[in-house]
Amino acid sequence: MQDDGTTPVAYDPCRPIHYVLRPGNGPVGGEDLIHDAVDRVAEVTGLQFVYDGATAERPFDDRQPYQPERYGDRWAPVVVAWETEAENPTFVSGVIGEAGSQGVSIGDGPRVLVTGGVSLDGAAFIELLATPGGAAVARAVVLHELGHLVGLDHVIDAGQLMYPTTSTVPDFAPGDLTGLVALGSGECEPDL
Ligand SMILES: [Zn+2]
- Please give the distance, rounded to the nearest whole angstrom, from the Cα atom of residue 142 to the centre of ligand 1: 10
- Please give the distance, rounded to the nearest whole angstrom, from the Cα atom of residue 148 to the centre of ligand 1: 7
pLDDT (0 to 100) of residue 61: 76
- Please give the distance, rounded to the nearest whole angstrom, from the Cα atom of residue 68 to the centre of ligand 1: 31
- Please give the distance, rounded to the nearest whole angstrom, from the Cα atom of residue 94 to the centre of ligand 1: 12
- Please give the distance, rounded to the nearest whole angstrom, from the Cα atom of residue 172 to the centre of ligand 1: 13
- Please give the distance, rounded to the nearest whole angstrom, from the Cα atom of residue 73 to the centre of ligand 1: 31
pLDDT (0 to 100) of residue 186: 83
Whether 176 maps to a domain, the answer reads yes
Is 0.85 surpassed by the pTM of this model? Answer: yes
Q: pLDDT digit of tens for each residue in the chain (192 aa)?
A: 999 999 999 999 999 999 999 989 999 999 999 999 999 999 999 999 999 999 999 998 789 999 999 999 999 999 999 999 999 999 999 999 999 999 999 988 899 999 999 999 999 999 999 999 999 999 999 999 999 999 999 999 999 999 998 778 999 999 999 999 999 998 899 998
- Please give the distance, rounded to the nearest whole angstrom, from the Cα atom of residue 191 to the centre of ligand 1: 31
Whether 84 maps to a domain, the answer reads yes
- Please give the distance, rounded to the nearest whole angstrom, from the Cα atom of residue 170 to the centre of ligand 1: 14
Report the CATH number that the domain containing residue 151 is assigned in CATH.
3.40.390.10
Whether 110 maps to a domain, the answer reads yes
Whether 190 maps to a domain, the answer reads no
- Please give the distance, rounded to the nearest whole angstrom, from the Cα atom of residue 53 to the centre of ligand 1: 25
- Please give the distance, rounded to the nearest whole angstrom, from the Cα atom of residue 84 to the centre of ligand 1: 18
- How many structural domains compose the chain? 1
- Please give the distance, rounded to the nearest whole angstrom, from the Cα atom of residue 162 to the centre of ligand 1: 6
Whether 56 maps to a domain, the answer reads yes
pLDDT (0 to 100) of residue 111: 94
Whether 186 maps to a domain, the answer reads no
- Please give the distance, rounded to the nearest whole angstrom, from the Cα atom of residue 72 to the centre of ligand 1: 31
Asked if 120 contacts 148 with a C-beta cutoff of 8 angstroms, the reply is: no
> Cβ neighbours of residue 101 under 8 Å, at least 6 residues apart?
11, 78, 113, 114, 115, 116, 117, 149, 150, 151
Residue 104 belongs to what domain range? 10-181
- Please give the distance, rounded to the nearest whole angstrom, from the Cα atom of residue 100 to the centre of ligand 1: 10
Whether 5 maps to a domain, the answer reads no
Whether 126 maps to a domain, the answer reads yes
